[in-house]
Amino acid sequence: MKKDRLLKLLISLNSKELKGLEEIVHSPFFNKDKKCIALFEAIKEYAPDFELTAEIKDGIAQQIVPSKKWNDASVSFLRSRLIKLINELFVFQELQERRDYKSHLLIKALLKHQNNNYALSIYNEVNNLNKNRIKTDVDFYYEQFLIEEKFTEYLELEKGRTSRSNLVKLHQSLDTYYIARKLNLSAEILSTKQIIGIDYDDEILHNIEHLITLPKYQENNFIKLYYFVLQILKDEENEDAYHSFVELLDSSISKTFYISDINIFYTHAINYCIKRIKKGRKEFKQHLFSIYLALIDNRLIYDGNYILVNRMKNIISISCQLGKIDWAKQFLDHYQRDLNPKIKESSTQMFKAFICFYNKDYKGTLFELAQIQSDIDALFFLNIRTFQLRCYYELFESEAFHSLYKTFRDYLRRTKKEIATSKKQSHASFNRIAYMLFRKKEGFSSKSSTDIRHKIEETKPLELKSWLLEKCNELDN
């Protein structure tokens, strides 16, 4: 059932946030509408899932406004009021996490109300606190600029335009924010460019690269890490930059960053390792595994209370590829309890199939895949089909292989599920080349292994390229 905006917002709240919303709804400062309070109390009874049928919605509406339904204007107005109160909760939460931005707003209000001396004391207090500040991010540099801007305004109010002593500091704070944000966005753009090929003028980036190498910025670890990210994005062969990047990231300085930024940095490291592995650098599988261990240590495999299913899949996959089958089993046994209950059963079966496959237990793989009752998403379905096809190939099950090849081909042609075009193409190419290899294995193809290998090398995008090359080499032997 499609939920309206109010219910979607309520579902997104955890128990602590729902309690905070209750306090806001009942606070006369935020809300004096008793009908809005009554609406909240009625809906709250259906927490945390808020599964409201049309009949329940209309019943709640009639409790609050007799003879009115959920979608009538008077009830819709109350729902809008409640949404605005949720907005207030979100803004309050964000401000609580941004101490310096709150200070900026306070200084701005104090100057506006001509409490200049108090504004100065807040400015000094913020500066003293930031001398011992541990964590920084792009927002921190932005907030520093805003506070310096307000201090400059204070000086002009107190001493007139003859006092310009803070302009240099203001300019430097703007430079630091600009460079940090520019690097942050450039890294994101370059990553996206490599995936979907968007246009991007590198000239602007070149204009600040000479600034990054200045000593004052090289001493800034946040900027330095993004500098390394740009190096590995621009030149995949620059392994020295990668090793320097990971060494710095794994050091104690990572404690000076917020967890969201650490996650971004490690994601760049993961993507680099995957690229090197695809280029045949198998030693980067161990590098990749080490990064995943760091993610586990930093609890970066979680989204809220639940473990990220794709991250868990990748960890199990790379550990199995390195022959760490027992480690993978222990990891799955320990962490499967933290999977979202809605996908826990299917995900666990899928991961058991992974382990069986990499342990060359192909019948066991097919058995585990057959236990899966529902798909998590479209990519989950694609994973199942590629594993099944590879199992039939390894077991030399001709009838099953040909049947799956045809149904998978037709599915990729006709499916209306939201699958990226590149993913459809890469899986279609895998399916087609796996068929070529199987026909060769059966002895029914006149294509040479050299021709098939050339096809594998030149086809882009292509899923599971390394496996296809491995099977092609086996045919030579």
**25 and 37 Cβ atoms separated by less than 8 Å:** yes
- Collect all residues with Cβ–Cβ distance below 8 Å to 114 and sequence separation of at least 6: none
Query: What 3 state SS string does 98-165 have?
Result: CHHHHHHHHHHHHHHCCCHHHHHHHHHHHHHHHHCCCCECHHHHHHHHHHHHHHHHHHHHHHCCCCCC
Mean pLDDT of 119-140: 88
pLDDT over 80 (residue 2): no
Which range is least confidently modeled, 158-167, 312-321, 360-369, 403-412?
158-167
- Shortest CA distance to 80 belongs to which of 127, 33, 112, 120? 33
- What pLDDT, on a 0 to 100 scale, did the predictor assign at position 196? 58
pLDDT over 90 (residue 135): no
Mean pLDDT of 218-245: 90
Which range is least confidently modeled, 53-62, 109-118, 199-208, 218-227?
199-208
Mean pLDDT computed over every residue of the chain: 90
pLDDT over 50 (residue 286): yes
Mean pLDDT of 350-361: 95
Mean pLDDT of 255-270: 90
User: How many Å is the Cα radius of gyration of the chain?
Assistant: 29
pLDDT over 90 (residue 203): no
pLDDT tens by residue, 18-28: 999 999 999 99
pLDDT tens by residue, 54-80: 999 999 999 999 989 999 999 999 999
- Shortest CA distance to 150 belongs to which of 196, 118, 191? 118
- What's the rounded Cα separation, in Å, for the pair 150 and 412? 58
Q: How many CB atoms lie within 10 A of CB 452?
A: 21
pTM more than 0.85: no
Q: 3-state class of 50 per DSSP?
A: coil
**Residue 355 pLDDT class (50, 70, 90 cuts):** very high
- What pLDDT, on a 0 to 100 scale, did the predictor assign at position 244? 94
- What's the rounded Cα separation, in Å, for the pair 396 and 394? 5
pLDDT tens by residue, 428-473: 999 999 999 999 999 998 889 999 999 999 998 899 998 999 999 9
**Residue 199 pLDDT class (50, 70, 90 cuts):** low
- What pLDDT, on a 0 to 100 scale, did the predictor assign at position 192? 75
- What's the rounded Cα separation, in Å, for the pair 310 and 316? 10
pLDDT over 90 (residue 374): no
Of all residues in the chain, the percent with pLDDT exceeding 70 is 95
- What's the rounded Cα separation, in Å, for the pair 128 and 130? 5
Most confident of 207-221, 303-317, 373-387: 303-317
Helix (H) / strand (E) element for 306: namely strand 306-307
**Residue 364 pLDDT class (50, 70, 90 cuts):** very high
pLDDT over 60 (residue 198): no
Which comes out higher in pLDDT, residue 186 or 65? 65
- What pLDDT, on a 0 to 100 scale, did the predictor assign at position 1? 43
